[in-house]
Amino acid sequence: MKVFNVGWGSFLTHNLRIPLLLRYNTSTTKACFLNKMTLRRYQKSLNRQQEMLLPARVEDYVSDNNTVRAIDTYVATLSLQSIGYAHTQGATIAGQPAYDPAGLLKLYLYGYMQGIRSSRKLEREVYRNLEVIWLIEGLRPSYKTIANFRKNNSKALKASNRDFVLLCKELDLLGGESVAVDGSFFKADARKESIYTETRLNKELESLEKKITDYQNSLDQQDAMDDKSGCGSLVEDPQLIEKLEKLKARQAEKQALKKALEESGEKQISTVDKDARLLKKSAETIAGYNGQTVVDSQHHIIVAEELTQDGNDLNQLAPMLEKAKEALDAENLKGLADAGYYNTQQIKDCEEQNITPYVAIPKASGAAEKQGRFSAKDFLYDAQKNVYTCPQGHELTARENPTSNRGKRFYTYSTRSSDCKDCPLKAQCLTETSRYKKIQRWEHQDVIDLHKERMQKAPGIMRQRAALVEHPFGTLKHRAGMHHFLMRGLEKCGGEFSLMVLAYNFTRVLNIMDLSTFRDYCVQRQENGLKTSQYA
């Protein structure tokens, strides 16, 4: 048995898996084998010392189907001055001229579409990114200039997003028949510890008062010992006095916060972002804002958005659907929402605006059901006779004067005590101290009954809602990395939220339609806008 060694191991020549080339132990064969190993081909790399020339025109830096060309063409259709962007009016002032707002808007739109939101990171892109160099035509704004543009144009950014929704409508990308609304929490540029409630302030003031009292008692004990010794302040602790002063300063600070909270009429006060609030959902609590979106069913484009401070969605249904109806210019609209939006007054407001709401009905958790007794749903209502009928067949008639509760008027329906006295179902219906059954009915309960009937006829509609409205938030947060705000204050964060939505919608449109078709329409839109402005 012959063994052939080529420097990396021994091979058995009789093994059938070894190439026949290795069976010959000659110098010539070994050289040929090693030569074959060194002749393996690889892709050619760049010679770093070789002189090269970039394309002669910046126009050649990007291809015809590059996304930046769509951004450039769309921004050109906007009338930045009428929308409200700063530095768009003619002026002659001292110092360096301002940067063109169109260039900064293009930069931000590109950045948010690419998941780059930091002004410092965007500043780096204007020096090294060929797409950005082409898009903003070689401008090199500093990170401070970039950040100030976003900070100072909150309302204009919202208006730009509304304009893009109008563009989507012009392109027939919106159905305008069915939409879904949902909300999600976004973190603010503040820690949870920077937001105070009245309960937390009271606890901290109580704790500070106890510590101050303990320190003062320690000082009193020192003074008593000094008086007994007659030698002056021999055991005085200067650090104790310093700690006491710091505690009193913190106490004064918390008292000022409590006073400001009481004067504001709010339930929370923040020391960093004055508009951020503690928001709780399930077991999670964050310092931030509640972002609301309404998504059209045809292509999942966000047609309305709003940033709120509310910790729940109970009062957002009608306002958000009304905004969507206005944006879509729809006569009738179907709006879907989860159980977090279930509010009888909001459902009624939607009906008055020709909006048909489909809101998931939360599971009832009334005291009667918890105790195993009959609830209002177990009693049948006769609209013609205006009476309720109990499970035993007795009628509950209405009292003449309604009562008010939290701005709503309710009518009370009750049985006669004689009907309930010997009723066999009395234990399942009344408490031990009640002599008769009474039910309260909202004056607009017929709207809610109609809604319940509508929901029973559409058992799978909540699955449609989830498929329609939940993925945009997932896209914003996970793909684009928009988990938190970089701005502070409700208005500024609202502008940033609109910029997030604009970037999402822009990406969505370019995934739906051909880029060249989009650009051609934008060019036509710009020409029509110029003609309109000339004849105005």
Q: Are residues 137 and 213 in the same domain?
A: no
Q: What percent of the chain has pLDDT over 90?
A: 61
Segment among 36-50, 56-70, 350-364 with least mean pLDDT? 36-50
Q: Are residues 67 and 32 in the same domain?
A: no
Q: Are residues 18 and 71 in the same domain?
A: no
Domain termination residue (choose one: 270, 297, 320): 270
Long-range pairs of 389-395 with CB within 8 A, sequence gap ≥ 24: 390/415, 390/429, 390/437, 391/425, 391/429, 392/423, 392/424, 392/425, 394/419, 394/420, 394/423
Examine the pLDDT at 419 and tell me if it is beyond 50.
yes
**Average pLDDT, integer, range 421-432:** 88
How far apart CA 60 and CA 38 sit, in angstroms, is: 39
SS (H, E, C) 146-193: HHHHHHHCHHHHHHHHHHHHHHHHHCCCCCCCEEEEEEEEEECCCCHH
Quick one: pLDDT at residue 406?
A: 82
Q: Are residues 445 and 519 in the same domain?
A: no
Examine the pLDDT at 536 and tell me if it is beyond 50.
no
How far apart CA 175 and CA 296 sit, in angstroms, is: 7
Report residue 522's pLDDT band, with 50, 70 and 90 as the boundaries: very high
Q: Regarding beta strands 395-398 and 387-389, do their DSSP bridges make them parallel or antiparallel, or are they unpaired? A: antiparallel
pLDDT in tens, 272-322: 999 999 999 887 899 999 999 999 999 999 999 999 999 999 999 999 999
Q: What backbone torsions phi and psi does residue 236 show, to the nearest 5 degrees?
A: -65, 135
Examine the pLDDT at 135 and tell me if it is beyond 90.
yes
pTM: 0.83
Q: Are residues 34 and 68 in the same domain?
A: no
Q: Are residues 137 and 201 in the same domain?
A: no
Report residue 231's pLDDT band, with 50, 70 and 90 as the boundaries: low
pLDDT in tens, 374-408: 888 889 999 889 999 999 899 999 887 888 888 88
Q: Among candidates 117, 177, 119, 105, which has minimal Cα distance to 147? A: 119
Tell me the β-bridge partners of 403. Answer: 410
Examine the pLDDT at 519 and tell me if it is beyond 70.
yes
Residue 133 domain flag = yes
Examine the pLDDT at 112 and tell me if it is beyond 90.
yes
Residue 406 domain flag = yes
Quick one: pLDDT at residue 143?
A: 96
Number of other CB atoms surrounding residue 508 within 10 Å: 18
SS3 breakdown of the chain: % helix, strand, coil, rounded to 5?
Answer: 50, 15, 35
Q: Are residues 152 and 197 in the same domain?
A: no
Residue 257 domain flag = yes
pLDDT in tens, 234-259: 445 667 778 888 888 999 999 999 99
Q: Are residues 449 and 391 in the same domain?
A: yes
Averaged pLDDT score across all residues of the chain: 86
Residue 404 domain flag = yes
- Give the H/E segment covering residue 288: strand 284-296
Examine the pLDDT at 269 and tell me if it is beyond 70.
yes
Q: Are residues 28 and 75 in the same domain?
A: no
Quick one: pLDDT at residue 405?
A: 85
How many domains does the chain fold into? 4
Quick one: pLDDT at residue 534?
A: 43
**Close Cβ partners of 353 (under 8 Å, ≥ 6 residues apart):** 318, 321, 322, 325
Residue 294 domain flag = no
Quick one: pLDDT at residue 17?
A: 47
Residue 66 domain flag = yes
Examine the pLDDT at 167 and tell me if it is beyond 60.
yes
CB 118 within 8 A of CB 147: no
Report residue 230's pLDDT band, with 50, 70 and 90 as the boundaries: low
First to last CA, the chain: 100
**Close Cβ partners of 137 (under 8 Å, ≥ 6 residues apart):** 58, 103
Q: What is the DSSP letter of 399?
A: P
Domain termination residue (choose one: 430, 455, 480): 455
CB 468 within 8 A of CB 295: yes
Residue 421 domain flag = yes
Q: Are residues 72 and 110 in the same domain?
A: yes
Q: Are residues 201 and 241 in the same domain?
A: yes
- Quote the domain boundaries for residue 527: 61-88+99-158+513-535
Examine the pLDDT at 445 and tell me if it is beyond 70.
yes
Examine the pLDDT at 25 and tell me if it is beyond 60.
no
Quick one: pLDDT at residue 31?
A: 55
Domain termination residue (choose one: 455, 471, 494): 455
Report residue 14's pLDDT band, with 50, 70 and 90 as the boundaries: very low
Residue 501 domain flag = no
Q: Are residues 17 and 83 in the same domain?
A: no
